[in-house]
Structure 1
Amino acid sequence: MFKGSFVALVTPMDEKGDIDYKGLQKLVEFHIQNGSHGLVSVGTTGESATLPFDEHIDVVKRTVEFAQNKIPVIAGSGANSTAEAIFLTEQLGQTGIAGFLSVVPYYNKPQQKGMIAHFNAIADAADLPVILYNVPSRTVADMLPETVAELATHKNIIGIKDATGSIQRLKDTQALVSEDFIILSGDDASAYEFLSEGGHGVISVTANIVPAQMAELCNLAAAGQYTQAREVNEQISALHEALFIEPNPVLPKWALYKMGLIESANLRLPLVLPELESKKYIEQVMRETGVL
């Protein structure tokens, strides 16, 4: 269930900044039609940091409703407060999701022992699988492979989204966990190499824009057809870089707006619309890759 291409789904908003649920439904249907293996609702790309709990829970609930059991939905449920993360885990567990994505606490800079205590407490409160999320470029704190291995012994912790971009980190983690522990890439630029080294899939920002290609990349890699997978990756590699020239999800939302999939590229403050040069650049890359 947790292998392949999972889309780190944006949360569309209207001109007033309210959640655009019609746009959300359109996006969910777009990904189902294009072969995505699953969705991640209200993770980093879904602007989890600026959605209050009631909206966060409602967006996840509606995403599950729109998915109609056709593909699994993972809910972002992390927080820098363990108590808040447990609250979200308990509330989101009632929405029909397949599992949780729980990020390393940000700003606090917890020790490795603190991370172990944090995630074990969350997993104890969970009735569904928990996927760890390590993204030190955002959280500052970096969850080490030894910590992952200890947490992997908890029956409810079944995998990790590794957004370090380090293939060596993947290998170090693989050496310490069982083969059935799911390791997903959280870095699109290195995703092909990650998959070729035994990663099980991706939680992808690029998949917002080219879901069929990201799904095909994962399918080919899973079948051991790495030459063909590399060719697919080369076709979209410019997007991996272009989508991150401003903080995620600024450019993904702009790209989806230009594709006509959402009616507004609005974001929650403190994020704002991209600079003119960024708009021009992403649109150029989209034309070159055949998206526009």
Structure 2
Amino acid sequence: MLITPYYNKTSQRGLIAHFTKIADEVALPVVLYNVPSRTNMTIDIETVLKLSENPYIVALKDATGDLEYAKTLKQQLPSDFALYSGNDDNMLDYYQLGGAGLISVVANAIPQETQQLYDYVVNDQLEQANTLNRDITELLNHLSVDVNPVPIKLLTSELGFGRYEVRLPLVTLEEQEIKVLSEAFTKFKDGVKQ
């Protein structure tokens, strides 16, 4: 996965040169990662279209949150170029416009439910998809208590995957935040079982 440069900004022409050079050198499938909220730089639609001509550049993780951007790309890209949502909060909408899937934060804690949502959409079970999406959205609202990956690390540690620790400059949640998030996670898991 190749992210846009986040310190030394460049032009779209520079992005094309940068991503093409890396893709050609590694000669492996490459996923572009467009996350302007983290890098303050966007891969323009025309740039994605140009980069999709490279046989090694096979997909885009789109964390723009802009469904019009995704819709335009879906209409103009070759059918074998995969579009993945990079935002948990718009996974249902992204699936409905034909996205190939989700590269997710929340799936680290609820992988089966995240997969189930995708399956509901591709099997045209939209009522079930909407219900599950509402439940996931409620959990996502609790995950926004702090920056990623702090809250998700708490949940994965509760599932037995490692210890709950983060590296500076990140810090762990306060005790009250841990209690609220843990309770929300339990409520989500209990609700899904019903």
- TM-score normalised to the size of structure 1? 0.62
Measured after TM superposition, the shift of residue 135 of structure 1 is: 0.5
| Aligned position for 1:116 | 16
Measured after TM superposition, the shift of residue 172 of structure 1 is: 1.8
Give the secondary-structure state (helix, strand or coil) at the position aligned to 2:10. Answer: coil
| Aligned position for 1:251 | 151
| Aligned position for 2:179 | 280
Structure 1: which 4+ aligned runs deviate by more than 3 Å? none
Are 2:67 and 1:186 aligned?
Answer: no
Aligned mate of 1:269, from 156, 168, 192: 168
Aligned mate of 2:56, from 156, 160, 164: 156
CA–CA separation in structure 1 for the residues paired with 2:84 and 2:7: 24
Please give the root-mean-square deviation of Cα atoms over the aligned residues, in Å.
Answer: 1.7
Are 2:130 and 1:224 aligned?
Answer: no
Aligned length: 191
Specify which structure has the bigger relative contact order, considering alpha-carbon pairs within 8 angstroms and separated by 6 or more residues.
1
CA–CA separation in structure 2 for the residues paired with 1:216 and 1:180: 23
CA–CA separation in structure 1 for the residues paired with 2:157 and 2:82: 33
The percent identity for this pair of structures is 36
Give the secondary-structure state (helix, strand or coil) at the position aligned to 1:289. Answer: helix
Kept in 2, the 8 Å contact 1:145–1:176? The answer is: no
The 1:115/1:273 distance shift into structure 2, 3 A limit, reads: same
Kept in 2, the 8 Å contact 1:146–1:176? The answer is: no
Q: Deviations over 1:59-97 (max 9, x none)?
A: xxxxxxxxxxxxxxxxxxxxxxxxxxxxxxxxxxxxxxx
Judging by fraction of residues, say which structure has more helix: 2
Q: Deviations over 1:249-290 (max 9, x none)?
A: 10001112233x134111122111123343233123112212
Give the secondary-structure state (helix, strand or coil) at the position aligned to 1:131. Answer: strand
Structure 1: 5+ residue runs without aligned partners? 1-100
Aligned mate of 2:109, from 193, 199, 209: 209
Measured after TM superposition, the shift of residue 291 of structure 1 is: 6.0
| Aligned position for 2:29 | 129
Q: Deviations over 1:97-152 (max 9, x none)?
A: xxxx1111112222111111110011101232111000000010111111111100
With 125-134 and 280-289 compared, the bigger mean Cα shift is at 280-289
Kept in 2, the 8 Å contact 1:189–1:241? The answer is: no
- Which letter does structure 2 place at the counterpart of 1:214? T
CA–CA separation in structure 1 for the residues paired with 2:45 and 2:25: 23
- TM-score normalised to the size of structure 2? 0.91
Measured after TM superposition, the shift of residue 175 of structure 1 is: 2.7
Kept in 2, the 8 Å contact 1:188–1:205? The answer is: yes
Structure 2: 5+ residue runs without aligned partners? none
Kept in 2, the 8 Å contact 1:134–1:142? The answer is: yes
